[in-house]
Structure 1
Amino acid sequence: MTAAGTRASAPETLQEAVDRVLRVPDEHRTFTKDAAFAEETWAIGPGLLEALLDHGLPHRGPAGRRRFERTDLHNISTYLNLPSPYFRALARKARAMDEAARSGEPHRHRLELTAQCAGPGHAAPCAFEPVPGLAAHSVPGSLRHTAPGTFTVEARLPSDTYVFDDDRSELLSLVADWELYVLPDGVIEDEDFSRRTRLANCLIPTRLLLREAARRGIRARHGAGLLVAPPFTTLHHWIEFELDGVWRAADPVLLTAFARWGMTDPAAWPYNRSVAGIVWHLLTWPPEVFFPVVRDHGRQAPLHITAR
């Protein structure tokens, strides 16, 4: 057994993983996922799943027909550093960020966005339209509509080694010890929950920091867009500070998570360093948790995004 496997199966580690998800009240769980989903999606095999059940993993149903909360499985898998596709993608994003900073050169990525129908409610054929920021913040002329619902575009993400000054670092420290966590729907925008538990998605600390920045007279804005690294990208929220006419991205919760997962050197990537190199700004001040990148008749279209 590898050292990582030994750590993941240690009883005290399994108890820590279960205790962490138990910070979420049971009322926010919907028990819809089975053991096959746990293994195939989150690399939680039968033996490990049984051990987690022994430590109190929430579930419903008898053996053989047990059902689990989706976000519990997600967060336990990540906490244990299991080799799920999601965890491997996060590691690639951390590596891309570090490589961009070391090279000092911007990273260029070619993205393909494949949209699906936004659903019933319009009689006409789907009319897919990317948000204006997709063209405005991409390599000029690179946005192309290549097939129904499919767009290609090139992103140019600058490298950055910027460490924020004392005032901004003190602000960022308010959430630097929070843990990046996939929240269930019932608490997905609940700042009080994150304050109590120190578990947060990318949206909640962004909103808190923006409010506190305004109180302190620090010029900041809400950045939203994509967390980019091959092969996949994800929607993301972060805070940006204007310094000498340049907007610089900060994300203390993400940087702390990368360090906790062993993906970056915390001495090289402290919480108060810019995250340039993997974040691609598309929108400012989005009102939605899951904001649109492509719309279909004005409605957010489900989207699959690949990058290379």
Structure 2
Amino acid sequence: MAMDLTDELDRHMRTLLPKLKLIPDEARAFTMSMDDAIRGYRFTRELLERLLAYGLPAAGGPDGPRMDDLDLRNVALRLGFGPVALAARRFWAASLNQSGGQARTYEIFYHATCPTPGHGSVCRYRFALPGGGHVDCEIPADGGASYKTTFSLDTEWPLLPSESRHILEVMEGLEFMYLPGPLKTDLDFIRRTGLSDCRGTTEFLVREGRRHGVPVRPSFGFIVAPPYSSRHNWAEFLVGDRWVPIDPVLIRLMVDMGLLDARDWPGFRSPGTMLVRIGDGPTWIVAHEGDPVPAEVRTRRLRRD
């Protein structure tokens, strides 16, 4: 993918780099070589050299500068590279902008492979299901494990009442940023820097809601965006008898990317039309013999209403 490396790059990096530098170097893992970044993010060597010249954090390595994968992911998202930026442009925004009408029905297809071939004739898998719960399967050990299930997502969600909206005021200055593990739920860091990923945003909202006596719960599940669903965390507010998904930082990111209109998408509007809950917090999607394993999660829409 080619891009203009002048005005647009300068604009993004002048804004992004001071924020990246709020993340301490000791929290970084300088493991990405130039070749890794080219393969993983479709960056050109010229672009990477420009990023380093701007001051992208890096450390010396045997084959040249080494960069942090999360730094590269943050840059890629702002510049429109990589799978998350692609999904946001092609699928997330379309799903949110088409809210309303009948519920949408989807099929999720899980696929995983045995991490220890030869351990026996049968593999025992457990698959976490949309809506909560799980299913157990015994599958011959000579192949991969696959499972599919269907679910529906509501496209009509109530707005938060005014007595709950004030909780979101503490989120107004937060900006989405991929963060290293120790900083994801460090609320002091989040307050001090204004940077937060989905886990930190969720914990922040839940803590503020409970502090003000507003029923809020954490949620973990998928952003449903065919052809793949991605793992995500968000908060849910109880409105009447419904738990309503709320994610003001995700909405603000999409507004900043020019994918949603800020007039139509205030932070208190629910993105629930593309979120399916699995449980309270980050968990395994597929387990093999009781241990989590990597899994591919493909998704398709079954019916267009």
Which TM-score tier does this pair reach, normalised by the shorter chain? 0.7 to 0.9
Match of 1:304 among 290, 296, 299: 296
Q: Quote how far apart the aligned CAs of 1:223 are.
A: 1.6
Structure-1-length-normalised TM-score: 0.85
- Name the counterpart of 2:78: 79
- Name the counterpart of 1:114: 111
1:46 maps onto 2:45 in alignment: yes
1:294 maps onto 2:286 in alignment: yes
1:94 maps onto 2:95 in alignment: no
Match of 1:263 among 254, 259, 263: 259
| Greater displacement, 172-181 / 68-77 | 172-181
Match of 1:208 among 204, 213, 225: 204
- Name the counterpart of 1:9: 9
Task: Return the alpha-carbon distance in structure 1 between the equivalents of residues 25 and 185 of structure 2.
Answer: 17
Match of 1:168 among 164, 180, 186: 164
Q: Quote how far apart the aligned CAs of 1:49 are.
A: 1.4
- Name the counterpart of 1:192: 188
Task: Return the alpha-carbon distance in structure 2 between the equivalents of residues 160 and 215 of structure 1.
Answer: 28
Instruction: Give the 3-state SS of the residue equivalent to 1:277 in structure 2.
Output: helix
Superposed CA deviations along residues 173-217 of structure 1, whole A, max 9, x for unmatched, are 211331111111232322221111111111112112112212212
Task: Return the alpha-carbon distance in structure 1 between the equivalents of residues 203 and 295 of structure 2.
Answer: 24
Kept in 2, the 8 Å contact 1:130–1:294? The answer is yes
- Name the counterpart of 1:246: 242
- Name the counterpart of 2:59: 60
Task: Return the alpha-carbon distance in structure 1 between the equivalents of residues 182 and 113 of structure 2.
Answer: 26
Decide whether aligned partners of structure 1 residues 149 and 238 sit closer, same or farther in structure 2, where only a CA change above 3 A counts. Answer: same
- Name the counterpart of 2:303: none
Structure 2 portions without partners, runs of 5+: 301-305
Structure 1 portions without partners, runs of 5+: none
Which structure has the highest strand share of the two?
A: 2
Q: How many residues align?
A: 295
Residue type of the alignment partner of 2:68: E
1:140-179 to 2 correspondences below 5 Å: 148-179=144-175
Kept in 2, the 8 Å contact 1:96–1:277? The answer is no
Q: Quote how far apart the aligned CAs of 1:92 are.
A: 3.0
Task: Return the alpha-carbon distance in structure 1 between the equivalents of residues 288 and 125 of structure 2.
Answer: 5
Q: Quote how far apart the aligned CAs of 1:47 are.
A: 1.8
1:275 maps onto 2:274 in alignment: no
Instruction: Give the 3-state SS of the residue equivalent to 1:174 in structure 2.
Output: helix
RMSD: 2.9
- Name the counterpart of 2:33: 34
Kept in 2, the 8 Å contact 1:239–1:250? The answer is yes
Structure-2-length-normalised TM-score: 0.86
Match of 1:104 among 101, 104, 119: 101
Task: Return the alpha-carbon distance in structure 2 between the equivalents of residues 243 and 302 of structure 1.
Answer: 35
Decide whether aligned partners of structure 1 residues 111 and 30 sit closer, same or farther in structure 2, where only a CA change above 3 A counts. Answer: same
What is the identity percentage for the equivalent residue pairs of Structure 1 and Structure 2?
A: 26
Decide whether aligned partners of structure 1 residues 213 and 304 sit closer, same or farther in structure 2, where only a CA change above 3 A counts. Answer: same
Decide whether aligned partners of structure 1 residues 259 and 75 sit closer, same or farther in structure 2, where only a CA change above 3 A counts. Answer: same
Q: Quote how far apart the aligned CAs of 1:67 are.
A: 1.2
Instruction: Give the 3-state SS of the residue equivalent to 1:164 in structure 2.
Output: coil
